[in-house]
Chains A and B, each alone.
Chain A
Amino acid sequence: MTSDTLDERTLLDRVAGGDRSAFEQLYTVYYPRLFRFLLRYTGSLGHVEELVNDVMLVVWNRASDFRGGSKVSTWILGIAYRKGLKSLERDRRRPHHEDIDEVSLISTEGPEQDLSRRQLRDRVIAALSRLPPEQRAVLELTYYHGCSYPEIAEILGCPHNTVKTRMFHARRKLRDILPELERSAERRGGLDR
């Protein structure tokens, strides 16, 4: 993640002043990022749009609280993480929690060398869905949102070492789940890059 563009900080300042047009621009920029993060973190499509709106409502109401101690994106993703966490806790209390069955995408049939890149990607998504949410969040924030580990620690509200440990465990589990990842890396010249 690069440092805040002037635009994002300016937009947030305008949102703090009650500028609806600035809020709409910020919403449009963050909607896909938040949608993706919350979908991957909570593993449930049913509530994602409502959660995105919960996050952006906090942004609308609390924009004036942002002091610039972190990037705008770190602040907003931190709000998203807490909303996602609450949603997961609510779901755990429900007797019949219904997840998207991404695990069902995993197929054990067919020679692995025939897997297309698209299929491999589907398998990675399915494998990610089998990780604990906290490990999923770290991996997603690192590889999709491009966050540094200190930024992830701030978003999750945990020590740096906890971030590294969660990533360590996620990598180990993915390695067990996805042996073809290594072969794919070799085929694409991953070792020589």
Chain B
Amino acid sequence: MSRHDAFHSEHEEVWELLPWHVNGTLEDRDARRVEHHLSHCLPCHAELGRQRELASLVQAPEVLPLSPGHGLARLEGRLAASRRLTARRPLGWGWLALAEAAIIVVLLSAVLAQRQPPALPQATFETLGSAGPTLDRASGPVFRALFAESASERELRELLAGLGLRIVDGPSPIGLFTLELAAETRDPRAPAAVLAGLRAHDAVRFAERIDRPSTPQGD
């Protein structure tokens, strides 16, 4: 390799390492190599200045809507529930999800089998996602949820309050609750976030947003 090629090879390697030279995390050997190259490469020296400036702008304090107390309060119920669930589950998470899904299907089948006579008209069948007449009573976005039997009333109350939801109907014969998002929540992102919040909670076995004829569905 000529001296010219060697310089360019070193230049490319050092150029790539500059951000970590700026944040001071390079190993000694790399740091020495970068320092040596910087002493005779003007483009790398200029780039070092730009990267230092970028780092200082990225690190500058900013105002974020941080509320660890609120976040922790919302997590409380999930912590207790998850440790309880974890403690009685030697099979691991994959099996857990399958087992829970199976339990829900079995429970729903059993309840439906008990409650639905063979001649029940199709129109009165209740499915997990059916809207139902309660939509008329709600003015905000509406969801349906099925909660774990092990969930305590307090846990559910905290969950719903944390997400800004109120119960407008339920439980249905198969245990479904209809929930309405507080009307004062005008943020268009809120319904999607609420649905994600419901689905992520250990006490929630099923959740979905219900379509309204006049409003688009968020998810």
Question: CA A175 – CA B65 in complex, angstroms?
Answer: 29
- If the complex has contacts A120-B57, A171-B19, A193-B49, are A31 and B189 also in contact, measured as CB distance less than 8 A? no
Partner of B189, one of A45, A57, A128, A182: A45
Partner of A23, one of B19, B54, B79: B79
Cβ contact within 8 Å between A181 and B19: no
Residues of chain A in range 147-169 having any CB-CB distance to chain B below 8 Å: 147-149, 151, 164, 167-168
Partner of B74, one of A53, A94, A181: A53
For A139, list chain B residues within 8 Å (CB). Answer: 19, 58
Partner of B51, one of A149, A151, A171: A171
For A23, list chain B residues within 8 Å (CB). Answer: 79
Interface size on B, residues (CB 8 A): 53
Question: CA A144 – CA B47 in complex, angstroms?
Answer: 19
Partner of B54, one of A53, A57, A143, A193: A143
Proximity string of chain A (46-82) to chain B, C-beta cutoff 8 Å, 1 when within and 0 when not: 1101101110110011000000000000000000000
Q: Does B205 contact A (CB under 8 A)?
A: no
For A182, list chain B residues within 8 Å (CB). Answer: 46, 49-50
Question: CA A117 – CA B22 in complex, angstroms?
Answer: 20
Q: Does A174 contact B (CB under 8 A)?
A: yes
Q: Does A18 contact B (CB under 8 A)?
A: yes
- If the complex has contacts A32-B66, A121-B60, A185-B49, are A61 and B82 also in contact, measured as CB distance less than 8 A? yes
Q: Smallest distance from the beta carbon of B148 to chain A beta carbons, Å?
A: 15
Question: CA A147 – CA B25 in complex, angstroms?
Answer: 7
Question: CA A140 – CA B54 in complex, angstroms?
Answer: 11
For B94, list chain A residues within 8 Å (CB). Answer: none
Q: Smallest distance from the beta carbon of B76 to chain A beta carbons, Å?
A: 9
Cβ contact within 8 Å between A181 and B50: yes
Cβ contact within 8 Å between B192 and A50: no
Q: Does B39 contact A (CB under 8 A)?
A: no
Cβ contact within 8 Å between B50 and A49: no
Question: CA A117 – CA B53 in complex, angstroms?
Answer: 11
Cβ contact within 8 Å between B82 and A185: no
Interface centre among B67, B68, B189, B190 (most CB of A within 10 A): B68
Q: Enumerate the 4 nearest inter-chain pairs by beta-carbon distance, A residue then B residue, closest first.
A: A190-B49, A148-B25, A46-B189, A185-B53
Query: What are 27 A-B pairs at a CB distance below 8 A?
Result: A27-B68, A31-B66, A31-B71, A32-B66, A35-B66, A49-B67, A49-B70, A53-B71, A54-B200, A57-B78, A57-B79, A121-B57, A124-B57, A125-B62, A142-B55, A143-B19, A143-B54, A171-B19, A171-B47, A181-B54, A182-B46, A185-B52, A188-B53, A190-B50, A190-B52, A191-B46, A193-B52
